[in-house]
A and B are shown apart, each in its own frame.
Chain A
């Protein structure tokens, strides 16, 4: 009898384990907590992350919002914010794709308008100022209200000012022209007169002519000296003189091959001297203009998007179209 019981014991234990295992598994799940997240909470959390500057977390939170609450009226603002997160994280290609979609899908909404502005800004960051300009000019062609036109002109003026920072010819004049197109109603808001004064000051600054620098560089080093680079000028003069003299000496001595090699090097340094002189003049001008531009941007650049109640931000609870949208996470 005892032997039978010993033989059956493992089977009994196995059967008991099989019976208890599902219960144990279910028990652990049932014992965890269930979190019910409303659309408002999710949006608010995403907003908080965004406001804190944690754009990676904000992007995930906004994406989750868009995925789980597709019927929410804040879906488009959330997508716009995803675009902004990409922009801040310097994922410019993705940001541009998203802003392009948003600018087309809701053509009359503020989201669409903001998307166009952001698309231009993103192109600007990508170094595609031509595309940025086209986006804004196309927008200007279809804009109806005076306020919107003023803002587009203002953004175009800043785009030109940014180009002035790269020494683009006539960029300051173009910036002035765009500012002139801002109406009286937007004059104070966009600091039109102050920016125009700043542009006039920049135009009056002492600058170096790249053409003069390049012409002066015909005498090696003179272009650098014109741009107040005296050491570079001296080195350029000595090096080029030595190279030209040694090339001439090589040819005179019948060493044609050596003469050709030295001439090749001399030609490179002579051209480098001219190129460097022109670049030095541009760098000189840029060193004068850029600090002024940055100061102006800090003082006078107005970002209208901050003043628009556009994104349903600040964690406000909206009606969600009267629907209660929830999802559950079980731990």
Chain B
């Protein structure tokens, strides 16, 4: 469990998708992420990605895609996806559409 929390904390960011996101994500973005700071190296950040994928695909698929994203965050994806500069920080662009293109039309 600690490992999961460490992974989530590693993706802390203040990007707000709050009202649209579920209660847990809202709580995370509103209260936990500001404490930990903006550290996610991907864009959208993992919590923003989770909010988007839950909205787009609903619970089971959204949950699986969020876990997949947490596994990939900040590692090999950095060399393979386009790079963006967001708020002065270089981030790896990895939207939901780049991960569901092969089955979701």
Binding site for B on A (CB under 8 A): 127, 129-130, 166-167, 210, 224, 228-232, 235-236, 239, 242-243, 246, 261-262, 265, 268-269, 271-273, 275-276, 278-279, 282-283, 286-287
B interface bracket (residues with beta carbon within 8 Å of A): 20 to 34
Smallest CB gap from B74: residue in A? A231
| A272-B64 contact, Cβ under 8 Å, with A232-B75, A239-B3, A287-B80 | yes
A-B contact pairs, 6 of them (CB 8 A): A228-B76, A231-B75, A239-B3, A261-B1, A269-B4, A269-B70
Annotate B69-91 by CB proximity to A: 1 below 8 A, 0 otherwise.
11110011100100000000000
Main secondary structure of the interface of A (DSSP, over half): helix
| A230-B76 contact, Cβ under 8 Å, with A272-B66, A275-B64, A275-B65 | yes
Hey, which chain B residues are within 8 Å of A130, CB to CB? 105
A272 touches B65 (CB 8 A): yes
Smallest CB gap from B60: residue in A? A271
Number of cross-chain contacts by CB at 8 Å: 75
| A242-B68 contact, Cβ under 8 Å, with A167-B102, A232-B76, A268-B63 | no
A268 to B1, CA, bound (A): 13
B76 touches A229 (CB 8 A): yes
Smallest CB gap from B64: residue in A? A271
A230 to B105, CA, bound (A): 29
A279 touches B3 (CB 8 A): no
A39 to B101, CA, bound (A): 48
Binding site for A on B (CB under 8 A): 1, 3-4, 7, 63-72, 75-77, 80, 98-102, 105
B80, chain A: closest CB distance, angstroms? 7
A275 touches B68 (CB 8 A): yes
A157 to B64, CA, bound (A): 35
B1 touches A262 (CB 8 A): yes
A265 to B68, CA, bound (A): 12
| A273-B63 contact, Cβ under 8 Å, with A239-B7, A279-B99, A282-B101 | no
Hey, which chain A residues are within 8 Å of B80, CB to CB? 283, 287
A239 touches B71 (CB 8 A): yes
18 new A-B pairs (CB below 8 Å) besides A268-B63, A272-B68, A286-B101? A166-B101, A167-B101, A224-B76, A232-B72, A235-B75, A236-B71, A239-B3, A243-B3, A261-B1, A268-B64, A269-B4, A272-B66, A272-B67, A275-B64, A275-B68, A276-B68, A279-B100, A283-B98
A59 to B70, CA, bound (A): 46
A210 to B101, CA, bound (A): 13
The 8 Å CB contact of A232, one of B3, B7, B71, B99, is: B71
A230 to B99, CA, bound (A): 19
A307 to B25, CA, bound (A): 54
Smallest CB gap from A169: residue in B? B102
B67 touches A271 (CB 8 A): yes
Hey, which chain B residues are within 8 Å of A278, CB to CB? 102
Hey, which chain A residues are within 8 Å of B7, CB to CB? 239
A286 to B100, CA, bound (A): 13
| A242-B64 contact, Cβ under 8 Å, with A232-B72, A232-B75 | no
A265 to B102, CA, bound (A): 25
Hey, which chain B residues are within 8 Å of A271, CB to CB? 64, 67
A111 to B14, CA, bound (A): 51
A276 touches B3 (CB 8 A): no
A272 touches B71 (CB 8 A): yes
B102 touches A210 (CB 8 A): yes
Hey, which chain B residues are within 8 Å of A269, CB to CB? 4, 67, 70-71
B76 touches A265 (CB 8 A): no
A42 to B69, CA, bound (A): 54
| A268-B76 contact, Cβ under 8 Å, with A167-B101, A243-B3 | no
